[in-house]
Amino acid sequence: MNAPELVTVTVDGVEVHVEKGAGLVETALAAGIEIPVFCYEPRLGAPVGACRMCLCEVEGMPKMQTACTMTATDGMIVRSALTSPKAAEAQDSTLEFILVNHPLDCPVCDKGGECPLQDLTFRYGPGSSRMFFAKRTFEKPIPVSPTIALDRERCILCYRCTRFSETVAEDMQLVALNRGSQSVIATFEDEPYVAPFSGNVIELCPVGALTSTQYRFEARPWEIQNVPTVCGMCPVGCNVAATTREGKVKRILSRNHPEIDDGWLCDKGRFAFSHVYASDRVTEARRRRGAQAYDALSWDEAIDEAEELVRNAGTHIVTALSGSETVEQAYTLARLLRVGLGAHSAVMPEVENARLLDGHRRPLSSIRDAQVVVILGDEPVAERAPIVDLWLRAARRDGAEILYELDEEKVRGAERAILIWSGPDGETELAAHAERLDVWGAFYLPRTPNARGVCEAWSAASDEEEPEAPVPVRLLVISGDEALVNPDVRDLAREAEHVLAFAMFERQARGLVDLLLPATSYLEREGTYVNLEGRLQRLRPAVMPPAPDELEWIAKLGERFEVDIPPYAASVFEELSAQIYDGLPFAAIGEQAPLPSRSPPPAEPASPTKKPRQAKVSGLRLVTYRPLFSGPAVERVPELQFQRPAPELELSQDDARSRGIENGAEIEASSNGTSVRLRARVSRKLARGTVRAAEEHVRGLLHDVEVKRA
C-alpha cells in the first residue's frame, strides 16, 4: 500500500494536513475543533448524513454540507458553527427539531448524565421550546428482546442501531418501519432480536431509546465507576469496562480496542456478567456431606483439609485446568503442584503448542484487509470467537473471498491470505499450512479465554516432562468451572479417590467434589490473559470476590509444603515474565495492550500431523460444537436463555437434497441405537458428508450418524 497523499484543509481558520479522503469530522478534530454528530459513526459503514447536526459551510459550495459525509480535498476551506453564524444557526435548529418530539424525560432516563443528546443540547441547543403541540407518543417500553428495551419516544431516528444490524452484524433483524414522522425502530412483529451481537445497539444509541434491561433504573452515572478490564468469556479478549455501583457489577461496556474488537462485544461478554451473583455461587470453602450437600468450612479448616488431601496423594495427583485461569493462577498452581510436589500430570485446555503460530502473528483487525480467508476446522467461528465473525463479515464486504476449504492456489495467489482454524486440535496442522503456503496471517481459535496463557505458564514452571497419568489417581485437582463441567474431567473425577476443586458454582460440583474452594470470576481478578492473537492483556478486579481468591489459597497451601508463592498477581507475573515475557513489568501492560512482534517459529518445525481426526464413517460425520450461549456462566443468566440455540442439525445442501429434507423440516439423527429429534438447517457452508449440531442437543450420539426425515 502506497504512502497516503496529504492535503491541506482549513477549518475555522486553522490549517491542518490530513490524508486525502479523510472525513471532515476527523479533519476538524485534527485542527482541535469538535463538530458535533449524532448519526455519524464511522464503524457503521458509509455515513448517511441523516441527523444534520454537523452542518458546515464549505467554501465553493452554495449549500451547507454535512461534515460527516464530506471528505478532505486539498485547499478545502471549512467553517463550522464555531466561526460560521449560518452553521451555528443550523446546529441550533437541528437540535430544536430533534427535541420537538423528544419527551425530555431526562430525570428518569437511564442515559441521563451520559447522553450525547443531553450534552449537545446543553452546549449548542436552544434554551427554550417553541413546541406547544402534542408530541408523538408511543407505547413504551417495547421489549426488543429480554436484554434490550426500546423507548420509541426518545428515539431520534439516527439509524445507528439499524445500520449496525444491517451492515455490521448483518443479522437484519432490527429495522426501521414506516416513513417520515411515523418511522419507528422495530423487530419483526413481536419477535425478539435474537443475534449474537444485539447488545451493541444499546451502546450505539446516542439517546436513551435502546437500553439494557439489566441496567434499567439501576444506577446514575455519577454513582458508578467504570473499571477497565478484559472480557474473560472467549479467547478474543475484547477490551471492556465493567460498570460498578456499590461494589457490584451493573453492566459491561466496550472499551474499543481497534485491533481486537473495534468496539463491539458479543452478547455473552456484555450480558453474562451477572453469573457473579448466581444463587449457587460458592462463597466459602465447603466440604462434601453425603451425595448432594456441603458443609461450610472456615479458612483454616479448609487449608488443613486441602493439605491432607494433597499430602496423602503424593505424586498421584492430576490437575485439570480450565483455560480460563489467569496466567498467574496457572503458574502458581504449577509451582505448588509441579515444583513443590512433583505432580506433573495435567489435563490441559486444548492448545497444542502455543507458540507455533507466532511467526504468522497479526492483529485480528487485519482480517478485514485480507483478500482471501480460509476457515478450517469444523466449528462455527461465531460460537468460538464471536468477534472474529464480525471481522470476517467486514472482510467480505470489502471484497475478500471467504473459503471453507483450503484452496491452495487461491491462497498462494493472494498477497494477503489468512488461515483460520475454528475447532479443536488444529494448531499443528494450521501452522504447517501457514508455513508451507507462506500466508499473510494465521489464527487458531481455542475454546477457552486464556488457553494459551495457561499452557505457557504451566510449562514455564518446570522443565520436567509431563508423565502419563498416575494409576490410581489419588487426587484430582479441578481448576475452575469450565474444567468441572468438562465430561472427560468428570469421568476422571469419578475414578479418582478424592477431588478438590476451585469452582464458582456449587451445582455441578455436587456428588463429585470432596473439597470445594471458592473460585473467582474474571471480573474479580487481578492478572493477565493471553488472547488468541498472542496478546498479553491485563485483567483488573472490578469488584471484590466473596472470599479469598485462588492465589491466596494456593499461596497459603504452598506455605504448608514450604513452597514460596507470593499471593499477589503482580509479583507472580514479574517472576514469570523474566522467563517468558521478556521481563515485561506488570505495570507496563497498559490498558490497551500492543501485539508482540512476530517471533520465529519454534526450533522443531511443525510437521503436518497425521491424526486419526477423521475416522471413516459409514453415514454422516457428526461434528459438534459448544454454542457461544452455553456454559456455566450463561446458564446462570436468565435474560440470556432466549439466545440459546434451538435444537437444530445443520446439513449440507447435497445431503439434504438426497434425503428429501427441506430447511426447517423435522428430522431424526441416530447412531448406535440412540436417536435424537431435531430441526434441519440446510447450510451452504458445510461440506457434503458432514452434519453439525450443538453439543447439548446431540448428547449420546456418536460421530457416525444417519439422518432421515422424522
Partner 1 sequence: MTELYDEIQQFRARYPDSRSAVMPALRAAQERYGWLSPGAFREVAEALDLTPAYCKGIATFYDMYHLEPVGRHSVEVCTNLACALVGAQRVVAAFEHELGVAAGETTEDGSVTFRTIECAGGCGYAPVVVVDGRYREPVVPEDVAALVEELRAEA
Partner 2 sequence: MPKRDLLLAHANERDLTQLGEYRAVGGYEPLEKARAMEPDELIDELVASTLRGRGGAGFPTGRKASLVDRSGARPSYLVVNADESEPGAFKDREIMRRNPHLLIEGCLIVARAILSRNVFIYIRGEYVTEYEILQRAVDDAQADGLFGDVDIVVHRGAGAYICGEETALLDSLEGKRGQPRPRPPFPPIQGLYMSPTQINNVQTIATIPPIVRMGASEFLKIGPENSPGTALFSLSGNVVNPGNYELELGSTLRELIFDVGGGVPGGREIKAIIPGGSSVPILTPDQLDTPMDYDSIAAAGSFFGSAAVMVIDERCCMVQLALRAEKFYMHESCGKCTPCREGTRWLVQILEKIEDGRGEYADLDLLDDVGSRILGRSLCALGDFAVWSVQSYLRKFRAEFEEHIELGRCPFGGESSIEGILAPSDQHHRPIATVPA
By the criterion CB under 6 A, which residues form the site for ligand SF4? 155-161, 185, 204-207, 209-210
Residue 44 touches which member of partner 1, ligand FES, ligand SF4, none, C-beta under 5-8 Å by kind = none
Q: Which is nearer to partner 1, 354 or 680 (CB)?
A: 680
Cell 427535541 belongs to which residue?
A: 99
Q: Provide the CA 116 distance to its chain's centre, in angstroms.
A: 26
Instruction: Check residue 407 for interaction with partner 2 (CB under 8 A).
Output: no
The 3-class SS string of 666-684 reads: EEEEEECCEEEEEEEEEEC
Residue type, 315: T
The least CB distance from residue 180 to partner 1, in Å, is 9
Options 83, 93, 213, 225; binder of partner 2; rule CB under 8 A: 93
Q: Which is nearer to ligand FES, 34 or 495 (CB)?
A: 34
The least CB distance from residue 345 to partner 2, in Å, is 59
Percent of residues in the chain assigned helix, strand, coil, to nearest 5: 30, 20, 45
Q: Which is nearer to ligand FES, 159 or 193 (CB)?
A: 159
- Cα 366 from Cα 576, distance rounded (Å): 30
**How many chain residues are in contact with partner 2, going by CB under 8 A?**
37
Q: Which is nearer to partner 2, 46 or 471 (CB)?
A: 46
Per the CB < 8 A criterion, the answer to whether 260 and 237 are in contact is yes
| Contact footprint for ligand FES (CB under 6 A) | 37-40, 49-54, 66, 68
Q: Which residues pair with 295 in a beta bridge?
A: 287
Residue 40 touches which member of ligand FES, partner 2, partner 1, none, C-beta under 5-8 Å by kind = ligand FES
Residue 303 touches which member of ligand FES, ligand SF4, partner 2, none, C-beta under 5-8 Å by kind = none
Residue 160 touches which member of partner 1, ligand SF4, ligand FES, none, C-beta under 5-8 Å by kind = ligand SF4
Instruction: Check residue 166 for interaction with partner 1 (CB under 8 A).
Output: yes
The candidate with the shortest Cα–Cα distance to 548, out of 282, 233, 279, is: 282
Residue 396 burial (10 A CB sphere; 0-12, 13-18, 19+):
middle
Residue 161 touches which member of partner 2, partner 1, ligand SF4, none, C-beta under 5-8 Å by kind = ligand SF4
Crossing angle of helices 327-334 and 451-460, in 10° steps, is 30
Who contacts 134 (Cβ-Cβ below 8 Å, separation ≥6)?
none
Number of alpha helices (DSSP H) and beta strands (DSSP E) in the chain: 19, 32
The least CB distance from residue 154 to ligand SF4, in Å, is 7
Strands 690-694 and 704-709: unpaired
3-class secondary structure, 261: coil
The least CB distance from residue 78 to partner 2, in Å, is 15
Stretch that binds partner 2, among 129-137, 233-241, 444-452, 524-532 (CB under 8 A): 129-137
Residue 179 touches which member of ligand SF4, ligand FES, partner 2, none, C-beta under 5-8 Å by kind = partner 2
Options 10, 83, 183, 365; binder of partner 2; rule CB under 8 A: 183
- Cα 192 from Cα 174, distance rounded (Å): 9
Q: Name which of residues 9 to 68 contact partner 2 (CB under 8 A).
A: 47-53, 55, 63-64, 66
The least CB distance from residue 173 to ligand FES, in Å, is 24
Q: Name which of residues 131 to 160 contact partner 2 (CB under 8 A).
A: 131, 133-134, 136, 156-157, 159
Residue 671 burial (10 A CB sphere; 0-12, 13-18, 19+):
buried
Q: Name which of residues 167 to 196 contact partner 1 (CB under 8 A).
A: 171-179, 186-189, 191
Cell 475452575 belongs to which residue?
A: 480
What sign results for the dihedral spanned by CA atoms 293, 280, 451, 380? positive
Instruction: Check residue 77 for interaction with partner 2 (CB under 8 A).
Output: no
Residue 205 touches which member of partner 2, ligand FES, ligand SF4, none, C-beta under 5-8 Å by kind = ligand SF4
The 3-class SS string of 450-510 reads: CHHHHHHHHHHCCCCCCCCCCCCCCEEEEECHHHHCCHHHHHHHHHCCEEEEEECECHHHC
Q: Which is nearer to ligand SF4, 131 or 176 (CB)?
A: 176
Separation in Å, CA 21 to CA 61, 210, 327? 17, 33, 44
Residue 204 touches which member of partner 2, ligand SF4, partner 1, none, C-beta under 5-8 Å by kind = ligand SF4
Per the CB < 8 A criterion, the answer to whether 627 and 447 are in contact is no
Instruction: Check residue 181 for interaction with partner 2 (CB under 8 A).
Output: yes
Binding site for partner 1 (CB under 8 A): 162, 166, 171-179, 186-189, 191
Binding site for partner 2 (CB under 8 A): 47-53, 55, 63-64, 66, 69-70, 89-90, 93-94, 96-98, 100-101, 130-131, 133-134, 136, 156-157, 159, 176, 178-183
